[in-house]
């Protein structure tokens, strides 16, 4: 963590500029994009923090492309992020959970593509539980003169140039990576600035917390059932039994996993054969960030970041967190993969 006794306060903008200056020839456009996301996050945080005294709680009355009920704050967050990215003129397209297709912005010559989950954990909005925003940034592949193509939108997670999340909880914080480690900033509401909390955060190699919706236990494959039973069996040598923690907001669950270690799981099931979480704007960005912190993210077998996408709203199972925890669940999945599923 940053030692406040020996280091001066560093804002998000200062940090981004300092990082940019380490690379000769950097144009500053990615830095501007990250600052734009930070600005939108401040506006969203303000509305989240006063949601109970404004007319922004509750459902909008519509459903999104996934058939999910849309909350008023979902639409507010979506609008703020897209508007902020559009003003910068360096982003050519946005893909958001709240929109059916690609959102083309005013500047078709922009070099960046941004995937967004504007407000992750929407079901928690009305009960004042932590929620968040997730972002994933890619470089366009096509020449500006050629126009945008499907290949621009469907790049594997390994092609991300930056990714991160904003968590609206007891405090508002922003974590991001550009492939050079993970930096975390906390919003100081008294000055309206994100302040550096940690500039090289590392996830523990192993952890004692597992995070999964156990209400879906009967729909899981046998390997995952066996792993969860393993987590629950007492064994002092491996610090078991592990503790179960599940918030229901991926950003909040993954952030806790990043800080304390352990594993977050959202598997495929009989109800969701391809998994429920979206690859491009939930799993890819958080996998990139967790890997940069020393962790691991798989779809049950292979690396999440190596999945070749075929649709912008593609779903995937995910097992993400401390390296040793993820390797252990993969052992169980492999061992029982060809055995019959039991209730």
- Do 179 and 316 sit in the same domain of this protein? no
Residue 341 included in any domain: no
Mean pLDDT by 10 residues, the chain (343 residues): 64 89 72 93 89 51 51 88 90 90 81 94 80 95 77 93 95 95 95 94 97 95 96 95 96 97 96 94 98 98 96 96 98 81 46
Is 246 a known ligand-binding residue? yes
Is 325 a known ligand-binding residue? no
What's the confidence (pLDDT) of residue 321? Answer: 98
Q: Give the single-character DSSP code of 120.
A: E
What's the confidence (pLDDT) of residue 117? Answer: 95
What's the confidence (pLDDT) of residue 1? Answer: 55
Is 119 a known ligand-binding residue? yes
- Do 172 and 237 sit in the same domain of this protein? no
- Do 164 and 65 sit in the same domain of this protein? yes
Is 282 a known ligand-binding residue? yes
Whether 205 and 294 have beta carbons less than 8 Å apart is answered as yes
* Residues paired with 198 in a beta bridge: 184
Is 123 a known ligand-binding residue? yes
Is 120 a known ligand-binding residue? yes
- Do 151 and 25 sit in the same domain of this protein? yes
- Residue 103's CATH number: 3.30.540.10
Is 305 a known ligand-binding residue? no
- Do 226 and 329 sit in the same domain of this protein? yes
Is 319 a known ligand-binding residue? no
CA distance 244 to 228: 10
Whether 17 and 26 have beta carbons less than 8 Å apart is answered as no
Is 205 a known ligand-binding residue? no
- Do 173 and 91 sit in the same domain of this protein? yes
CA distance 227 to 12: 40
What's the confidence (pLDDT) of residue 343? Answer: 43
The domain of 219 spans 209-335
Q: Give the single-character DSSP code of 340.
A: P
Is 122 a known ligand-binding residue? yes
- Do 127 and 188 sit in the same domain of this protein? yes
* CA geometry: angle 170, 284, 17, nearest 5 deg: 65
In a 13 Å sphere around the CA of 298, the CA atoms on its Cβ side amount to 17
Residue 2 included in any domain: no
CA distance 298 to 156: 14
Which DSSP string do the residues of 237-287 spell out, in sequence order?
A: GGTBSPEE---S-HHHHHHHHHHH--EEEE---SS-TT-SSBIIIIIHHHH
- Do 188 and 241 sit in the same domain of this protein? no
Is 107 a known ligand-binding residue? no
């Amino acid at each position: 963590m940053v030692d406040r006794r020996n280091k001066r306060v560093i804002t998000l903008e200062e940090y981004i500029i300092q990082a940019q200056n380490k690379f000769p020839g950097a144009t500053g456009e990615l830095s501007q994009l990250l600052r734009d996301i930070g600005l939108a996050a401040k506006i969203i945080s303000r509305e989240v923090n006063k949601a109970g005294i404004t007319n922004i709680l509750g459902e909008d009355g519509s459903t999104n492309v996934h058939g999910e009920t849309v909350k008023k704050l979902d639409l507010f967050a979506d609008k703020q992020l897209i508007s902020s990215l559009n003003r910068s003129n360096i982003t050519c397209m946005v893909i958001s959970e709240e929109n059916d297709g690609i959102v083309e912005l005013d500047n078709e010559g922009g070099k960046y593509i941004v995937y967004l989950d504007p407000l992750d954990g929407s079901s928690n909005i009305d009960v004042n539980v932590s929620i968040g925003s997730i972002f994933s940034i890619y470089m366009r592949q096509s020449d500006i003169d050629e126009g945008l193509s499907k290949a621009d939108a469907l790049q594997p997670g390994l092609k991300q140039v930056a990714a991160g999340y904003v968590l609206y909880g007891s405090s508002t914080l922003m974590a991001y990576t550009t492939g050079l480690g993970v930096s975390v900033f906390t919003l100081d509401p008294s000055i309206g600035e994100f302040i550096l909390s940690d500039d090289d955060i590392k996830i523990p190699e192993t952890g004692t917390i597992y995070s999964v919706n156990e209400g879906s236990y009967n729909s899981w494959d046998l390997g995952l059932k066996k792993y969860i039973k393993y987590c629950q069996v007492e064994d002092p040598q491996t610090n078991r039994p592990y503790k179960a923690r599940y918030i229901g907001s991926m950003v909040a669950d993954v952030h806790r996993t990043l800080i304390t270690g352990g594993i977050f799981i959202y598997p495929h099931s009989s109800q969701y054969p391809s998994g429920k979480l979206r690859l491009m704007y939930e799993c890819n960005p958080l996998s990139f960030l967790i890997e940069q912190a020393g962790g691991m993210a798989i779809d049950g077998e292979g690396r999440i970041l190596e999945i070749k996408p075929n649709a912008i709203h593609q779903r995937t199972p995910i097992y993400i967190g401390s390296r040793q925890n993820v390797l252990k669940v993969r052992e169980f999945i492999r061992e029982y993969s060809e055995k019959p599923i039991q209730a």
